[in-house]
Amino acid sequence: MLGKQFKGVSIWPFVILKNRELKDDYYFINHEKIHLRQQIELFILPFYIWYFMEYLFRLVQYRDTFLSYKNISFEREAYTQEMKEDYLSERKFWAFLQFL
Ligand SMILES: [Zn+2]
């Protein structure tokens, strides 16, 4: 959802970019589109609650804010699949569960 260094954030139905050039950052846009899909599947608000709860859980697990963020299932899915061009067309419903 948030980039390594903050590049943008997706809050359905918007993707907010830090700067205009990011529109051409293919992996970044794909990453954010994956989050938009995850958000729709969870009816938006529960996504943010889950995201935050899992972040806290990972924080206990990893004791490191960056590692915790990277290991949230939504981020694991987005980071591992962002380079696949047709990922969203073949992605299964609630696919993020495979990344828990
Ligand atoms: Zn993300």
Sign of the torsion formed by the C-alpha atoms of 83, 98, 72 and 1: positive
pLDDT per residue as tens, the chain (100 positions):
665 567 888 998 999 999 988 888 999 999 999 999 999 999 999 999 999 999 999 999 999 999 999 999 999 999 999 999 899 999 999 999 999 9
Q: What was the pLDDT predicted at 82? A: 95
Residue 45 Cα to ligand 1 middle (Å): 16
Q: How far apart are CA 94 and CA 73, in angstroms?
A: 11
Cα of 3 to ligand 1 centre, how many Å? 6
Task: Tell me what pLDDT residue 65 has.
Answer: 95
What angle is formed at CA 20 by the lines to CA 88 and CA 50, rounded to 5 degrees? 45
- Distance (Å) from CA 33 to ligand 1 centroid: 9
Residue 7's pLDDT is what? 85
Residue 71 C-alpha from the chain's centroid: 10
3-class SS at 61? helix
Helix axes of 73-81 and 26-41: crossing angle, nearest 10 degrees: 140
pLDDT at 49: 97
